Amino acid sequence: MWLWALLPICLAVFGIVGIWVVFGIAVSNETVNITDRIPYISECGTYNPQSCIFAQICNICAILALWVVVIRFQQVRDYGQNSKVNIASIVLGFISCVGISIIGNFQQSVVIGIHLLGAFLTFFVGLAYFWLQVWLCYKAQPFKDRHWVGPLRATFCSICSVLVITSILTDHTAGGRSPFSENVSSLVILHTTSYKSGAAVCEWALVMSFFVLFGLFGSEFRHIDFHQLTVQKQGLKTQSTNGVVRMNYVS
């Protein structure tokens, strides 16, 4: 049913709009200064009151993303790809969702180590998840939209991979600290605000592209007939022997 396509699309829209709302609040409260350089996303969500909103946005996104990961796993399995790759994808997806929650609940200014761990789980493990989805996109049968979804997903995965590396390199060169790296002042080569802004731009583009990758699942989800949750399997067997089988599903 095409309504299921709204789930990943709503996740992408909610995440992108939510991050920009946090940025707007941070600018209006003057907790970040955009005249000197472009701030990192974590800098926008590290002080009150926007930190509370940032945490809630991340928590909601984590729940929605977890739901998307589970449904995608079931869809690929029902297409006949109950392989180790599909199992690995749901494990990586779960870990990435946990990372999203960690980023929102452990601000950079409070617990930098845990915050960086959350960023690693979200983006590095999350990228591994999406690269597996590129592979599954061509292996899961049947899928009519793979001729454009596959290349588009691979393109955004490539963009995210480049942006992760670029964010680290530009931030190291600037001697700053972003959600992807520790302060490496001992390795500073240049210390210019332009490099810090470059790292921040890469981070913003990475997060936006990451949400777009979730939104692309809408193309697959629109082919879902129904999403079924079965419990009491033994009870169903007993009923089937009596000639009565009842199954509840959500269309």
Q: What is the pTM of this model?
A: 0.80
Residue 43 structure tokens: 């800098």
Instruction: Please answer whether residues 131 and 157 qualify as being in contact, where contact means their C-beta atoms are separated by less than 8 angstroms.
Output: yes
**pLDDT at residue 216 is higher than 60:** yes
**pLDDT at residue 186 is higher than 50:** no
pLDDT: which is higher, 43 or 10: 10
- Which run of H or E residues covers position 212? helix 193-215
**pLDDT at residue 189 is higher than 50:** no
Please tell me the predicted confidence (pLDDT) of residue 107. 80
**pLDDT at residue 142 is higher than 80:** no
